[in-house]
Amino acid sequence: MKTIVNCLLFLFIYCQASAQKIDEIASKEIDMGLPLFEQRAEFKNLPEVKLLGLGDIGTFVKESKKFNASFSAYLITKKDFRNIALHLDDWIVRPLNAYLTSPAIADSRLLDSLIKTTFSSDYQFKNEQFRSFLVWIKAYNVKHPVDMVNIFGVAPASTIPPSYFLATYIYEIDAVSGRKLSEKWTDTDSEDSIKFLDVKNWIAKLKDTKMSKEHQRMILQCKDDLASNEFVLKYTSVIQKFSQKELNNRFQFVAKQISKKLYKKT
C-alpha cells in the first residue's frame, strides 16, 4: 500500500510540474515523443519504483490518452517497465496479450477484432490512442522477444463461465475428465454452482498427480480464476449498494493480483 501511495503522489507532482509539455508530447507519434521526456528532469530522474499508476483527466480527453501512451512507452524503453495492469477482467484480456506476445507479425485485422471483443464499450481503452499504443507494444515485443511487455487485468467485473474452465483448463490438461464433465453438464443441465464445484473437485483430484510445469501453471491460474469469481460485485438493481466488507475484500484481491506482477516493473 505504501508503494502505491508513493507512486500516485509522485504522479501528481510530475503532472503538475509538466502540464505545459503534455500538448507538445500528445501532438506527436509515440516514437517521436519519446525524446521529449529525456529533456525534462522530472521524467529523466524518475525515482526507482516498481508500480506507477496512470489515469485520464477525462474519459474522452484524447490529449490525456495520447500523453499516457507516450509516457508508458517511455517507461518501457528507458525505465524497464514490462507489465501493464488494466482495470479489467484478466480472463478477457488474455487473448489480446497472447497476440501482443506471440512471435507472429502484426495483424491489423486481428488486433481490431481483439480490441472489439476485449474492450466492448469501454471507451477508456476502445479508442484510437490506446490502439496506437497496442500497435507500438506489438512492434516492441517483436524486436525484444526475450524481454517482452505483457498486459493483464486485475479487476474482476464479470463471472468467468464454467465453459471457460472446461475449454481452457480441463480439456487441455485432462481430456478424459473434460469429456466426462462436458457430457454431465449437457445431460443434467446443471446449475453453475454445481459446475464450479465439479471444477474444484477436479483440481483436488489432481493434487498428487505429476504434471509438466506448464500444466502446473495452468492449475494455479485456474484456481486464481475460481477465486476471482468470488469478488465479482453482482448488481441486481441500479440502486444496489455493497457492504464495506465486500468492497474491502474486492480491493484486497485487486491489490494481491497487482502484487503478483511486481517481480517486474508495472
DSSP string, 87-114: SS-HHHHHHHHHHHTSSSPP-HHHHHHH
Set of cell numbers at residue 120? 466492448
Q: Are residues 65 and 1 in the same domain?
A: yes
Residue 216 domain-assigned?
A: yes
**Which residue type, as a one-letter code, is found at position 145?**
P
Q: Please give the Cα distance from 51 to 132 (Å, whole number).
A: 23
pLDDT recorded at residue 140: 94
What is the DSSP code (8-state) at residue 160? P
DSSP string, 228-242: HHTT----SSTT---
Question: Are 157 and 120 a contacting pair, CB within 8 Å?
Answer: no
Q: Are residues 217 and 258 in the same domain?
A: no
Q: Please give the Cα distance from 142 to 178 (Å, whole number).
A: 35
Residue 239 domain-assigned?
A: no
Q: Are residues 95 and 41 in the same domain?
A: no
Set of cell numbers at residue 241? 449498494
Structural domains counted in the chain: 3
Residue 223 domain-assigned?
A: yes
Predicted confidence pLDDT, tens digits, the chain (266 residues):
444 434 443 444 445 445 666 777 777 788 888 888 777 766 766 667 676 666 554 444 455 788 888 888 888 988 888 899 888 999 999 999 999 999 999 999 999 999 999 988 677 788 888 899 999 999 999 999 999 999 999 989 999 999 999 999 999 999 999 999 999 998 777 789 999 999 999 999 998 889 999 999 999 999 999 999 999 988 776 677 888 888 888 888 888 888 887 777 66
Residue-number span of the structural domain to which 225 is assigned: 162-231
Backbone region of residue 241 per phi and psi (left: phi > 0; alpha: psi in -120 to 50; beta: other values): beta
Q: Are residues 9 and 34 in the same domain?
A: yes
Question: Are 261 and 152 a contacting pair, CB within 8 Å?
Answer: yes
The alpha carbon of 44 is separated from its chain's Cα centroid by a whole number of angstroms, namely: 26
Q: Are residues 147 and 255 in the same domain?
A: yes
Q: Are residues 63 and 24 in the same domain?
A: yes
Question: Are 89 and 153 a contacting pair, CB within 8 Å?
Answer: yes
